[in-house]
Structure 1
Amino acid sequence: MNDRIFLSSPHMSDEGYEMEYVQEAFDTNWIAPLGENVNGFERELAAKIGSTAAAALSSGTAAIHLALKAAGVGEGDVVFCPTLTFSATANPIIYQNAIPVFIDSDYETWNMSPKALEEAFEKYPEVKAVIVVHLYGLSADMDKIMEICKKHNVAVIEDAAESLGTYYKGQHTGTFGDYGIFSFNGNKIITTSGGGMLVSDNEERIAKARFWATQSRDQARHYQHSELGFNYRMSNVVAGIGRGQLKVLDQRVAKKKYIFDFYKRELGELEGVQFMPVNDWDQPNFWLSSMTVIDKVKPVDIMDALERENIESRPIWKPMHMQPFFEKYDFIGTKISEKLFENGVCLPSDTKITDENLQRIVDIIKGLWR
C-alpha cells in the first residue's frame, strides 16, 4: 500500500521557525495561556493582513462567537449565513440564541449570492448581522455584498477561516467587514494545531473580546466577574507555532496555486469537468483545489478510485439548510449550493505533495474517463 496522500495536512517550516518560538516559551516558562508569543502573533497577523487589532483565540469558531457577541447579536436576532459552508460558521449563531437564515451561493464565486442576499433583506428587514464566507480560499464578491449590507446598516462578519492569504482587489479577505475571523486548524493553509484569530479595526471591541475570552475577569485583586465569560484564549505555546507558520504563508499560497494549476491543466479538458471559479478581482489562496463533475463519471466515482489508492479526497460542503440540525431554518435562493454539493469534489491539496503524486492522482482520475 502506498503512503497516504492527505487532503491537506499540517506542514511545518523547513527552517524550523516554529520551534524557535516554542523553545522560547519553554525557556521562559511561559507555556500557559498568554505571553509574548500570543502578543506577537496578534501583532504580526494584524500587520500581515492590514488590520488594526487582533485577538488570538482557541478556535475560529470561538472567533465567530465573540464577533457575533461584539456585534450585539442576542436572543431572537436574525443572522444571515451562507448555506454552503462548514457548520462552525453557523453553530455560534445558535450559541447566541439567535436565528440563522441561510443564503444560497452563485456559480460566479461559489460564495454568498448578492441576489439571494437582497431577497433575504426583503423578507427579513430587521437583521442583526451578516456572516460572509470565503469558501476554499475563493473571495466572495465583497463590493456587492458590502454595498447591500451598508444600505441596510447591518454588521458584517467575514469568515475567512479558509482564506488567509487571499486578496479581493488587492485587499486581504477578512478586513472588509466589521470583524474578520481566521482558523489555524490542522488542515488550514497555516496551522497552530488548533486556534483562531478575531480581527477588526475597532480596537475597543477587540479589547472587549479578549476580556470575554479570559472568563470576563474584572480588574480586581479577587476573582470577580460582572459578565459571562469564556475560556477562549490561545496558549502561548500554540501561538509560537503560529508565529513561525506566518513566516511561510506566502510559500504555502504559492504551492497551493501550483497544485490548482496542475490539476486544471491536466483535468480541465475532461468532459463535464469545471474547476472552482477564479475571477479577475480575486487572488485566492487555493486552500483546496475543487471541481464539479457533470458526466457519466460522478464525484463519488473519483473519491472511491482515489481511496482505493490510499488517497484522501472529499465532497464539497453539504449545505447547512440540508443538515438535520439546521433544516428547520429558512433558506433563501435557487438551490445552486445543492448542485455544487451534488457535483463537487475536493482534490488532495497538501502542500507537501510531490509532482509524482500529483501525476498519480490525475492519471487515476483520467482513467475513469477512458
Structure 2
Amino acid sequence: MRETVYLSPPDIGPLEESYLVAALRSGWVAPVGPDLQAFEHDVAERVGTGGAVAVNSGTAALHLALLGVGVGPGDVVIVPTLTFIATANAVRYIGARPVFVDCDPRTGNVDVGLVDDLLRRLRSRGERVGAVVPVDMFGSCVDYTGLVPLCAEAGVPLVEDAAEALGSHHRGRPAGSFGQVAALSFNGNKIMTTSGGGMLVSDDAALLAKARHLATQAREPTPHYEHRETGYNYRLSNLLAALGRAQLVRLDGMISRRRQLRDQYAKVFAPVPGVELVGIDDVDSNCWLTVITVDDEHCGWRAADLAAHLAGGSIETRPVWNPMHRQPVFAGAESLLTGAADRLFTHGLALPSGSGLTEQQVGRVFEAIDEFLTSHSGVPAA
C-alpha cells in the first residue's frame, strides 16, 4: 500500500527537535515557563498586537475571546455559515445564539453586505448582538476595510477568528489585528503547529488579563487555592510553546512553500473550463489550503470525481466546510443565506497544500491530477 499524501500534515524538523529538547532539559514542562512567555511575546509581535495569551486550542481562544468582549447568555452572535464548527460551538458554550450569514463565493469569506443587512434586521427586532465573528477562510483575510467600520458604527464588538490565517495580511495589516480580540489556532493541520494549541491576541490589556485568569481555573492570587468564579483548564504547556517558537521562526518559509504549491495548481487548472481557485487573487494570503471549485456543466466532471481518483492513489483531499446551517446540531438556527456556501460545499475541493510535502509527494499529486484530466478531457494538464 502506498504512503498517504495528506492534505496539510505538520511540517516538523531538526529546529523543532532542538527547541523541544532544550525545553525538556530546562525542567519547565508545565503550563508555565520561559518558552510560554516568549511564545506569547513573539506571536503578539508578529501579529502587531499589544499582547497575547497562549491556550490549549483555537476553540478555547474563541471561547475566552467571546467572554472577553462581554457576550452573555441570550445574546445573538453573527457567525459565518461557512466555517469549522468550533466558531459556532464557542458561542453555544456561553449560552448565546449563533445566527449564520452566507459568504462571498469568490473567497469563502463572510459577505460583508449581508452582515450589514443582518445587523439592521436583528437590531430592529430589539435583539442584543454580542459580537460579529468573521473567519479568515483558507488563509485569506475577510474584507476588513468594509467590516470594521460597519461593526464600529453598530457598536458591536468584532472578534476575529484568524485560526487559519496566521501570516496573512489585508492591505498590509496582519491577520489577527482587526478585531477587539482575535483567536489563532496551532492545530496539527494549520500553517504552523504546537501539536494542539491556540492563542488570543489583542491590544486590550484588561481583556487579556481576564482571559489569562479564566484559563488558569480562575485561581485567585492567594497562598491557598481560592476561586470566586468558574474558570477553565485552558493554558498551553511550556513544551508545546517551545515547539511553537521553532515553528514561528520557520513560518515565512512554510508560507512560501504553500504559495508555490498554489501557483502550481493555478497553472495546472488554468486551461480547464469550469475550474477556479478560491481566493486566487489574494496575494496576501498564507495559502493555508488551496481550494478549487468545479462547475461540472462546463468541464464534464465533479469535484467528487477528482477526489475519488486521488483517493485511489492514496492522496487525501477534503470537501469545503459543510455549512453550519446544514449541521443537525444547529437545525432551525436563524440564517441569512444566498446559496453561496451551499455551492462551495457542493462544488469545492481542498487539495494537498502542506509545506512539508516532499518533491516526490508533490510529483505524485500532479501526476494523478494529470491522469484524471487527460482521461476526462483528452488533453494533458499544463
Taking structure 2 as the reference length, what is the TM-score of the superposition?
Answer: 0.94
**3-state SS of 1:18 partner:** helix
* Residue equivalent to 1:52: 50
Matches within 5 A, 1:211-290: 211-279=213-281, 283-290=284-291
Aligned partners of 2:167 and 2:174 also within 8 Å = yes
Distance 1:62 1:329 in 2: 23
Displacement of 1:287 in angstroms is 0.5
Supply the distance in 2 between the matched residues of 1:117 and 1:53 (Cα, whole angstroms): 28
**Alignment partner, residue 340 of structure 1:** 344
Report 1:13-28 matches (<5 A).
Answer: 13=13, 16-28=14-26
Q: Does the Cα contact within 8 Å between 1:109 and 1:139 map onto a contact in 2?
A: no
Give 1:44's aligned amino acid.
D
Equivalents in 1 of 2:152, 2:280: separation in Å?
26
Higher mean displacement: 188-197 or 115-124: 115-124
Q: Letter of the aligned partner of 1:165 in structure 2?
A: G
Contact 1:79 1:93 in 2 (8 A): yes
- Distance in 1, Cα, partners of 2:150 & 2:318: 33
1:346 CA drift (Å): 0.4
Provide the alpha-carbon RMSD of the alignment.
1.2
Q: Is the 8 A contact 1:263 1:362 kept in 2?
A: no
How many residues align? The count is: 367
> What amino acid is aligned across from residue 188 of structure 2 in structure 1?
G
Q: Which residue number in structure 1 is paired with residue 295 of structure 2?
A: 294
CA distance, structure 2, for counterparts of residue 259 and residue 151 of structure 1: 40
Map 1:197-212 onto structure 2 (within 5 A): 197-212=199-214
The 8 Å contact of residues 313 and 368 in structure 2, kept in 1 or not, is answered as no
**Partner Cα separation in structure 1 for residue 223 and residue 103 of structure 2:** 51
Tell me the residue number matched to 2:11.
11
Partner of 1:369: 376
Match of 2:331 among 324, 327, 334: 327
CA shift digits 1:315-339 (9 cap, x unpaired): 0001001100012211112121111
> What is the Cα deviation at residue 356 of structure 1?
1.8
2:326 is matched by which residue type in structure 1? M
Q: Counterpart in 2 of 1:82?
A: 80
Tell me which of 131, 154, 175 is aligned to 1:129.
131
1:126-167 C-alpha deviation (Å, 9 max, x unpaired): 311000100000111111111211110111111111111111
2-side partners of 1:169 and 1:110: how far apart?
18
Letter in 2 for 1:80: I
Match of 1:332, as an amino acid?
L
8 Å contact kept, 2:192–2:251: yes
Question: Alignment partner for residue 193 of structure 1, among 189, 192, 195?
Answer: 195
* Worse-matched range after superposition: 223-232 or 344-353: 344-353
Is 1:312 matched with 2:316?
A: yes
Match for residue 106 of structure 1? 104
Code of the aligned partner of 1:26? L
Structure 1 residue aligned with 2:367, among 350, 353, 360?
360
Shift of 1:358: 3.9
**What SS does the aligned partner of 1:218 have?**
coil
Instruction: Indicate conservation of the 8 Å contact 1:21/1:37, yes or no.
Output: no
Q: How far apart in 1 are the matches of 2:274 and 2:65?
A: 40
* Alpha-carbon distance, 1:107 to partner: 2.0
Question: 1:24 Cα deviation (Å)?
Answer: 2.2
Q: Answer yes or no: is the 8 Å Cα contact 2:315–2:365 preserved in 1.
A: no
Residue identity (%)? 40
- 4+ long deviations beyond 3 Å: none
- Partner SS state of residue 34, structure 1: coil
* 1:204-228 alpha-carbon deviations (Å, 9 max, x no partner): 2111101100000001111000111
- In the other structure, the counterpart of 1:94 is 92
Structure 2: state its 5+ residue gaps. Answer: 378-382
Instruction: Quote how far apart the aligned CAs of 1:368 are.
Output: 4.8
TM-score normalised by length of structure 1: 0.97
- Determine if contact 1:278/1:284 at 8 Å carries over to the other structure: no
- Asked if structure 1 preserves the Cα contact closer than 8 Å seen for 2:78 and 2:101, the reply is yes
Q: In the aligned structure 2, how far is the partner of 1:228 from the partner of 1:162? A: 29
CA contact (8 A) 2:310 2:369 kept: no
**Following the alignment from structure 1 to structure 2, what is the Cα–Cα distance between the partners of residues 153 and 222?**
41
Structure having the larger proportion of residues in helix: 2
Cα distance in 2 between the residues matched to 1:321 and 1:313: 23
For 2:304 and 2:369, how far apart are their aligned partners in 1? 16
Note the 1:121-160 alignment, pairs <5 A: 121-125=119-123, 126-160=128-162
1:120 corresponds in structure 2 to 118
The residue matched to 2:376 in structure 1 has which SS? Answer: coil
1:164 matches 2:166 = yes
Residue number in structure 1 paired with 2:36: 38
Q: Is the 8 A contact 2:7 2:351 kept in 1?
A: yes
One-letter code aligned to 1:306: L
- Contact kept in structure 2, 1:50 and 1:175, CA below 8 Å: yes
